[in-house]
Amino acid sequence: MNYREILVKIEQYLEGKAHLDELAKKKQDPFKILISTILSARTKDSNTRIATEKLFAKYNTPKKIAKAYIEDIEQLIKSSGFYRVKAARVKEVSKVIIDKYNGTVPENYEELMSLPGVGSKTANCVLVYAFKIPAIPVDTHVHRISNRLGWVKTTKPLETEKALRDKIPKELWLKLNRLFVRFGQQICNPIRPKCEICIIENHCPRDFSMELAIKKKVKKKN
């Protein structure tokens, strides 16, 4: 499989930038990238963007967020959804960054993973977008597209991350999430992918088995 060739084709086709990519290009500080990644859970980029900018317009350091009233944080990040849980999380993370890391976001996977509520996807996003350290953040787009392309045959994002790490050359890791997120938003959409205009259609077996299995499971439960 020529992973590089496929990623180059995708890169040449895509327009615009996804939110984390925008922050990285503007060289925003790692703390903002960490908080924005936490806010991005289960919502669209446009909502994350609004929530991040509102929050950072008022509180732009770990110290300020740690001291802020939780109700105020909730109001500022409301557009990101699940705002009560997310407000508690960003406040808690800010406190730990002050108490344990002297106000600086740690630059390695293990320490990032030790932050409250930070999982593998968030830790890897911070490594890639804040520090340019090769890692593979597996969000819903990366998980879905890697399975459709037949690059992995997995059911959980963590399995996808491991399988991709074993297969994809390390020099491509930094761009994989950036490209698949936009590709997933513009072409290989979760529902009704635009296969008829897809630039990598001849490299794709269109393996939807992972998604069909999830749908079946949900149906069974109901």
Query: Nearer to ligand SF4 by C-beta: 65 or 188?
Result: 188
Nearer of residues 49 and 148 to ligand SF4, judged by Cβ:
148
First-to-final CA distance of the chain? 39
Q: What's the CA gap between 63 and 60, in Å, rounded? A: 8
DSSP state for residue 26 in the 8-state scheme:
T
| Residue number, 168 or 187, with CB nearest to ligand SF4 | 187
Complex with ligand SF4: residue 197 or 218, whichever CB lies closer: 197
Instruction: Please report how close the Cβ of residue 204 comes to ligand SF4 at its closest, in angstroms.
Output: 3
Rounded to whole angstroms, how far apart are CA atoms 137 and 14? Answer: 19
Query: Quick one: 74 or 211, whose CB is closer to ligand SF4?
Result: 211
Distance CA 186, CA 14 (A): 8
- For residue 83, the minimal CB distance to ligand SF4 (Å) is 32
Helix (H, G, I), strand (E, B) or coil at 208: coil
Task: Tell the smallest beta-carbon distance from residue 147 to ligand SF4 (Å).
Answer: 10
Q: Shortest Cβ distance from residue 201 to ligand SF4 (Å)?
A: 4
Structure tokens at 200: 């990598």
CB of 186 to ligand SF4, least distance (A): 10
Q: What percentage of the chain's residues is helix, strand, coil (to nearest 5)? A: 70, 0, 30
> What does the angle CA 88 – CA 92 – CA 94 come to, to the nearest 5 degrees?
120
**Vertex 74 angle, CA 68 and 76, to 5°:** 85
Q: What's the CA gap between 185 and 22, in Å, rounded?
A: 15
In angstroms, what is the minimal distance from the CB of 13 to ligand SF4? 11
Report helix angle 140-148 to 173-186, nearest 10. 90
Binding site for ligand SF4 (CB under 6 A): 148-149, 187-188, 193-195, 198, 200-201, 204, 206
Q: Which is nearer to ligand SF4, 88 or 204 (CB)?
A: 204
